[in-house]
């Protein structure tokens, strides 16, 4: 049960993606009647595909650094208003992401030392 509660967001994203794709399929059977329905069908199709892709990539996305969650919307907003800044900002964020030194992970406290030959295994 804990595993389900731990990944509840992932299951919720997957269910939302399936619902949105289901709505888009409904519009394939019954074609949209006006501009709003056409726009809604397109949005459901695109967001449904995006949600399913997020559902698939969720374990990898949880490993990304937290600063990236703030940097991506900021860079997207700046590039939307000033497209020329994309030439500088996008490579800068990618360089910081990939060229950062890895974090040193300390061994968890209380873990038993592995016996060696000298310890009289």
Expressed as residue numbers, the domain containing 11 is 1-63
Evaluate whether residue 74 is within a structural domain: yes
pLDDT of residue 15: 94
The residues, ordered by sequence, that sit 6+ positions from 25 with a Cβ below 8 Å of its Cβ are none
pLDDT of residue 90: 84
Long-range contacts of residues 93-101, Cβ cutoff 8 Å, at least 24 apart: 93/68, 97/65, 97/68, 100/65
SS3 67: helix
Q: How many domains does the chain have?
A: 2
pLDDT of residue 76: 82
Q: Which candidate, 69, 26, 73, 17, places its Cα nearest to that of 46?
A: 17
> What is the distance, to the nearest Å, from the Cα of residue 59 to the centroid of all Cα atoms in its chain?
8
Evaluate whether residue 107 is within a structural domain: no
pTM of model > 0.85 = no
Ranges under pLDDT 70 in the chain = 1-5, 106-108, 110-121
């Amino acid at each position: 049960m804990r595993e389900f509660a731990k990944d509840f967001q992932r299951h919720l994203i997957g269910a939302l993606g399936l619902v949105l794709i289901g709505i888009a399929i409904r519009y394939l059977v019954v074609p949209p009647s006006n501009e709003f329905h056409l726009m809604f069908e397109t949005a459901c199709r695109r967001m449904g595909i995006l949600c399913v892709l997020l559902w698939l990539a969720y374990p990898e996305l949880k490993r990304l650094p937290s600063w990236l969650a703030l940097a991506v919307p900021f860079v997207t907003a700046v590039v939307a208003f000033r497209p020329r800044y994309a030439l500088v900002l996008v490579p800068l964020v990618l360089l910081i992401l990939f060229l950062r030194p890895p974090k040193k992970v300390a061994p968890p406290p209380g873990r038993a030392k592995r016996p060696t030959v000298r310890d009289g295994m």
